[in-house]
Amino acid sequence: MRGWRRKTIGYIGAAIAIIVLWQLGALAIDSRALPGPVPALTAFSTAFWSDLAPHLAASTWRVVAATALGTVLAVPLGLMLGRSPRADAVFAPLVFLIYPIPKVVFLPVLLVLLGLGDASKIVLITLIVFFQLLVTARDAARAIPAGSVLSVRSLGAGRLDVFRHVVIPAALPDIFTALRIGTGTAVAVLFLAESIGGTSGLGYYIVDAWGRLSYDAMFAGIIGMALLGVVIYELLELAEARLCRWTRVER
């Protein structure tokens, strides 16, 4: 509980600091393109339920669905590659050929093939999350000390037991780190995808407001983006605190 209070106070303090800096910046630049925090927050609160909320929900759904899909596909495969030199020899070159390509370049292809709706965006973000997690899970599984595996095997554990009791828990902290980084990239790419194709999502909302020269509404969308980021980050924190309790014990 103390953790929650500290966290809330931290967020409030950070919000105040940003608002102050924002106000100073708006005063110094004095341009219509950078409204101060007061008109932006007013636009956010008035537009939220009527206008903004459906877009926020659409973007949240896309990120969450794609992240879940990418995780479910990448983690088992990555852990398996990390533990099986033979499978790794076959698949690792394939992975490392595709990994460096920025997945966002496939956006035009996906828009043509899957249309302007949810599917193209979810597939694009899934690709990003998938490759980040695949590489992380593979490396984490490779780095597991032989002693941990040996001690469990000497107890009579088979391959599946070793995965369940050693490989998966050992790789989890790394997987959460990759998820935090991966979802950050995912939100950035989501903005681009939504601003190019479709009529829903925060990316669309922001670019649409820009087109109408409604800068207050544009900033309301940007605030929505920040909220989306916080929600995802905190959800991951919560999941990690539950699943990786052992990393938080004090010695």
Partner 1 sequence: MAGLVAQGVSLAYTGVGRDTVALEHFDLSVAEGEPVAIIGPSGCGKSTLLLLASGMLCPDAGRLLVGGKEVTGPRLATALILQDFGLLPWKTVFHNAALGLEVRRVTRAERRERAMSSLARVGLAEFVDAYPGELSGGMRQRLAVARALALDADLLLMDEPLSALDALTREDLQDLLLELWRQRRHTCVLVTHSIEEAVFLGRRVIVLSPRPGRVSAVVDNPRMGEPGYRNTSEFYERCVELRRLLAEEGAVGALVDRETGRVEVGEGA
Per CB under 8 A, the segment of 54-62, 112-120, 142-150, 204-212 that binds partner 1 is 142-150
Nearest residue (CB) to partner 1, 79 versus 202: 79
Q: Residue 170: name the closest of 198, 200, 147, 202 by CA.
A: 147
Please give the Cα distance from 67 to 56 (Å, whole number). Answer: 16
For residue 236, give the amino acid letter. L
Spatial separation of the C-alpha atoms in residues 94 and 194, rounded to whole Å: 29
Binding residue (CB under 8 A) for partner 1 from 151, 180, 230, 234: 151
Q: Segment contacting partner 1 (CB under 8 A): 166-174, 194-202, 214-222, 233-241?
A: 166-174
Structure tokens at 155: 């107890």
Supply φ then ψ for residue 153, to 5 degrees: -65, -35
Exposed/middle/buried for residue 80 (C-beta within 10 Å: 0-12, 13-18, 19+): middle
Closer Cβ to partner 1, 85 or 158, answer by number:
158
Of the listed pieces 102-110, 112-120, 154-162, 229-237, which binds partner 1 according to CB under 8 A?
154-162
Nearer to partner 1, 105 or 155 (CB): 155
Asked if 159 touches partner 1 (CB under 8 A), the answer is no
Measured CA to CA, the distance from residue 88 to residue 174 in angstroms comes to 19
Q: Which of 90, 98, 150, 239 binds partner 1 (CB under 8 A)?
A: 150
By the rule CB under 8 A, 241 interacts with partner 1: no
The type of residue at 227 is L
| 30 near partner 1 (CB under 8 A) | no
Interface with partner 1 (CB under 8 A)? 147-148, 150-158, 161, 165-166, 169-170, 172, 244-246, 249-251
